[in-house]
């Protein structure tokens, strides 16, 4: 099984989420389920069904995070600023405007916050490129050209 690549921040964030699930959310979900169970007839108890579903979700997320943490490869940004790699922050010029992206492992991608997976079309196009390079990317809206302005 290939290693799951994360930046140090992504790894730390997952560990924090894991602890929060185990120490806060799971005990609350168990308590909610216990209270709902004491309300009587379980067949018609919507609170019991909701509490049971919440606990299953928390348990599923805990297992998912543990699977990631047990198979992780932390990618250190040893970037000297000359080539884009996982962990790089890159400023690109697109349509006359500058945008800042961070290239991350696929499990910490968050396009709304400009964190792009190295496996995304834009991420793949930017990996190993240098300042001054022009990159053309096919996205659903058509072709977009990015000029690499800065790498950190």
At the topology level, CATH places domain 77-151 in Chitinase A; domain 3 (3.10.50)
**For the chain, where do the domains classified as CATH 1.10.287.180 start and end?**
4-74
Question: In the chain, where does the domain assigned CATH 3.10.50.30 lie?
Answer: 77-151
pLDDT at 40 (0 to 100): 75
Band of the pLDDT at 80, cuts 50, 70, 90?
A: low
Out of 3.40.50.800, 1.10.150.80, 1.10.260.40, 1.10.287.180, select the CATH number for domain 4-74.
1.10.287.180
Q: Residue 101: in which H helix or E strand, if any?
A: strand 97-104
The whole-angstrom separation of Cα 118 and Cα 112 is 15
pLDDT mean over 31-55: 86
In this structure, the dihedral spanned by the alpha carbons of residues 20, 22, 27 and 29, taken in order and rounded to 10 degrees, is: 80
The predicted model gives 88-113 an average pLDDT of: 93
Phi/psi at 128 (nearest 5 deg)?
Answer: 70, 10
Pick the closest to residue 17 from 65, 67, 84 (CA basis): 65
């Amino acid at each position: 099984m290939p290693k799951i690549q994360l930046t140090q921040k992504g790894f730390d964030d997952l560990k924090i989420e894991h602890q929060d699930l185990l120490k806060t959310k799971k005990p609350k979900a168990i308590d909610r389920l216990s209270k709902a169970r004491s309300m009587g007839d379980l067949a018609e108890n919507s609170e019991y069904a909701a509490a049971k579903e919440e606990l299953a979700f928390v348990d599923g997320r805990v297992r998912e995070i543990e699977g990631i943490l047990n198979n992780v490869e932390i990618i250190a940004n040893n970037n000297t600023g000359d080539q884009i790699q996982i962990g790089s922050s890159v400023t690109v010029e697109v349509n006359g405007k500058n945008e800042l992206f961070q290239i991350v492992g696929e499990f910490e991608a968050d396009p709304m916050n400009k964190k792009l997976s190295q496996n995304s079309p834009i991420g793949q196009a930017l990996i190993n490129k240098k300042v001054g390079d022009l990159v053309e990317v096919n996205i659903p809206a058509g072709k977009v050209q990015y000029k690499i302005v800065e790498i950190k």
